[in-house]
Amino acid sequence: MLQTVMEQMALATFNPNDSELLKKMVECMGDSQGMVRLSLAETLGSIGKPATPFLVEA
């Protein structure tokens, strides 16, 4: 999933209004692999404001 999101962001095709995807990304922050969590945190940071409500809820 993270790879797909990163590709979409690189191609400027990412939809920041896709609430289901943002919710899944935040849920994946519980992954046991530190590098996955770091990549997700950086990606969510790049997405910015649209990800905030999901992060606050988590």
Q: Look up the domain containing 27 and give its range.
A: 2-57
Number of domains in the chain: 1
Q: Confirm if 32 and 44 have CB atoms less than 8 A apart.
A: no
Predicted confidence at residue 1, as pLDDT, reads 82
Summarize pLDDT for 12-45 with one digit per residue, the tens: 999 999 999 999 999 999 999 999 999 999 999 9
Predicted confidence at residue 2, as pLDDT, reads 85
What pTM, to 2 d.p., does this model score?
Answer: 0.83
What is the DSSP annotation of 24-37?
Answer: HHHHGGG-S-HHHH
Q: Report the distance separating Cα 57 and Cα 36, nearest Å.
A: 20
Q: Report the distance separating Cα 6 and Cα 8, nearest Å.
A: 5
Predicted confidence at residue 23, as pLDDT, reads 95
Predicted confidence at residue 11, as pLDDT, reads 93
